[in-house]
Amino acid sequence: MAFSDEQVERYSRHLILRGLGVKGQKKLLASSVLIIGAGGLGSPVALYLAAAGVGHIGLVDGDVVDLSNLQRQIIHTTERIGQPKVDSAAKAMRSLNPDVTVTTHHMLVDAGNIAQLIEPYDLVVDATDNFAAKFLINDACVLADKPFIHAGVVGFAGQVMTIRPHEGPCYRCIFRDMPAAGEVPTCRQAGVLGAVVGVIGSLEATEAVKLIVGVGEPLIGRMLTVDALTMNIRRVPLPAHVPDCPVCGEQPTITAIDPANYIQPACTIDSANE
C-alpha cells in the first residue's frame, strides 16, 4: 500500500516517529477497533484513534446527547443535543479524518448481541460506565480470545488496564464479582472532573495504538491508576495467573454468555454518567 501525498502530510509525525513509522501507520490503517460507549471515555478514544488513522472504527452506544454530557464528552456539541451519540461522534470523526470508516451501532450492548458486535474487530475498547457492561465485555472478549482495554473513572481518579486473553489477568481475575447495587458510587452520584475522563480516555487510545502497532509495553498484567488531586500515578502489578478465575482460570465456570451472570440492567451504556 502506497500513501497518497495527503496521507504523507497528514501522518507525517507518525511516519518519523521511531517505533511507529511507515510500517506502523500501515498497520493502523489496516486495523479495526470497536469502542463500546461514546461518552466521556469514548470521546477522546474515538477522536485520537480517528486522528491516528485507524482504518475502521465501530461505535456502540444507545444514548442521545444531553446538555449534562458536554462538561466532559468533548466529541459532542451543543448543536447536536438530542442526536444519537454514535451519530454525533461519527460526524466529528469523519470530519477529522476522511480516511477512517466509521460504523455506528445505536443500541445497548447486552448478552444477546455482544458476540456479534465484537466479532469483526481486532480490538475492543471498554468506554462504558457500569459494572454489568464491564463484566460482560470482559467475559465476551476472553471467550472470543479478543484483546480489549478497560478503564474506569469516578471523581478525580481513574484506572486503565489492557487484557490480552490468556497472556495475563482479565478483569474478572482482579474484580471477581459485580458489586452490589449502590456499593460503589457512580459518576452521577459522586461527580467526575471532565479533564480526568479525558486523561484516562487518552491513555486507552494510547494503549490501543501500542497494541495495533506492536510497540512498547502494554498494560498487560499491570493497572495504571491516576489520582488527579495528588497527581499520584501508579503502575500496580497484577497477578500473572489466577487459577480459579471463573472465565479464564483452569476450570472456568463461565463458558458462554449467560444473561443471568449480568444481573445489573443489561449493559446500559448510560454515558451521561461517564
- Residues designated as active site: 187
Q: Is 168 helix (H, G, I), strand (E, B) or coil?
A: coil
What type of residue sits at position 78?
A: T
The grid coordinates of residue 139 equal 467475559
H or E element, residue 164: none
Q: Which among 88, 117, 49, 68 is positioned nearest to 267, based on CA atoms?
A: 117
Compute the Cα dihedral for 180, 219, 41, 248 and give only its sign: negative
Which positions make up the binding site?
A: 13, 40, 61, 72, 85, 109, 170, 173, 245, 248
Distance CA 175, CA 187 (A): 19
Q: Are 151 and 41 in contact (CB under 8 A)?
A: yes
Residue 159, SS3 per DSSP: strand
β 232-237/32-36 pair status:
unpaired
Cα–Cα distance measured from residue 2 to residue 17, given in angstroms and rounded to the nearest whole number? 18
Whether residue 150 contacts residue 171, with contact meaning beta carbons closer than 8 Å, is answered with: yes
Sign of CA dihedral 166, 199, 77, 100: negative
d(CA 27, CA 111) in angstroms, rounded, equals: 31
The dihedrals phi and psi of 234, each to the nearest 5 degrees, come to -125, 145
